[in-house]
Amino acid sequence: METGGKTVYGATLGILMLETQFPRIPGDIGNALTWPFPVQYRIVRGATPDNVVRGDAEARLEDFIAAGRDLVTHGCDGIATNCGFLVPLQDRMAEALGVPVASSSLMQVPMVRRTLPKKKRVGVVTISRATLTQRHLAAAGIPADTPVVGTDEGKEFTQKILSDAPDIDFAQARVDVVDAALRLQKKTRDLGAIVLECTNMVPYAADVRRATGLPVFSIYTYLVWFQAALMPRRFSPELDDGGRA
């Protein structure tokens, strides 16, 4: 269907994916079964976990913009990415694409801070503490003193994803993510909530919540909120036109 020069496929949220081979289980941003609404995907060729997380994502800006424009042409009016380390590209992508962009789950941190008592803090669990810099935090509007812990010390999660391994021990990956969250809680006595930077951590969010007793925010919570604005729910059946207002 053509609408206003766009080809519309009934999926308003477009997700830009890194080029990977590792398996994606339900909960992972790249598994379409994760989402309670339809999404469209585009792979950004040449953008890998290693060169985005450990390298310079800025070098791939034009590639992400080109893939994002293709999604917009095919009916998407909101664009997300599948790596929290792409947050430095946020403003330029939104400007170039002309639609709302949700580049990183880290964008939630300032909002989450406002929901907590004044004496509580938000902490971040990341896939790579070694390369999550002040530049990334600043791009998301996150205070420099925000506590951050990585899964770098684990046995599976960071190593397998950043090396784009063809197989992952998901049970061990779960242990790595939960352990990082517990270390974050131990070092931050006033911790009030956790934000998971990595989009591959969503399958373990419930385990983190159970282990820490704290609210856990992720790319899933962010994009469900984002999509709710792109296609608001109808509450008056008699007005339902089968689509948007």
Give backbone dihedrals phi and psi of 177, rounded to 5 degrees, phi first: -70, -45
pLDDT at 240 over 80: no
Label residue 1 by pLDDT band (50, 70, 90): very low
Q: How many CB atoms lie within 10 A of CB 183?
A: 16
Chain centroid to CA 229: 17
**Residue (of 213, 209, 161, 166) closest to 28 by Cα position:** 161
Longest dimension (CA), the chain: 55
Report the alpha-carbon distance of residue 241 to residue 224 in Å, rounded.
22
Report the alpha-carbon distance of residue 112 to residue 134 in Å, rounded.
19
- In SS3 terms, 37-100 reads as CCEEEEEECCCCHHHHHHCCHHHHHHHHHHHHHHHHHCCCCEEEECCHHHHHHHHHHHHHHCCC
CA angle 117, 120, 125 (to 5 degrees): 130
Element (H, E) at 25: none
How does pLDDT run across 9-22, given as a tens digit for each residue? 667 999 999 999 99
Task: Quickly list DSSP for 157-170.
Answer: HHHHHHTT-S---H
Q: How many CB atoms lie within 10 A of CB 157?
A: 27
pLDDT at 44 over 60: yes
Q: Where is pLDDT greater, at 6 or 54?
A: 54
Task: Give the model's pLDDT for residue 244.
Answer: 54
77-96 mean pLDDT: 97
Report the alpha-carbon distance of residue 36 to residue 131 in Å, rounded.
32
The owner of tokens 């080109």 is: 66
30-45 mean pLDDT: 96
How does pLDDT run across 109-150, given as a tens digit for each residue? 999 999 999 999 999 999 999 999 999 999 999 999 999 999
53-72 mean pLDDT: 95
Task: Give the model's pLDDT for residue 45.
Answer: 95
What value does the mean pLDDT of the chain take?
A: 93
How does pLDDT run across 180-229, given as a tens digit for each residue? 999 999 999 999 999 999 999 999 999 999 999 999 999 999 999 999 99
- Bridge partners of 15, per DSSP, are 41, 80
Q: Which are the contacts of 191, defined by CB distance < 8 A and separation ≥ 6?
A: 120, 121, 122, 123, 147, 184, 185, 212, 214
Task: Give the model's pLDDT for residue 235.
Answer: 87
Does pTM top 0.75 for this prediction?
yes
> Hey, what domains does the chain have and what are their CATH numbers?
2-104+223-230 (3.40.50.1860), 105-218 (3.40.50.1860)
Task: Give the model's pLDDT for residue 239.
Answer: 65
The owner of tokens 């809680």 is: 185
pLDDT at 241 over 90: no
Element (H, E) at 54: none
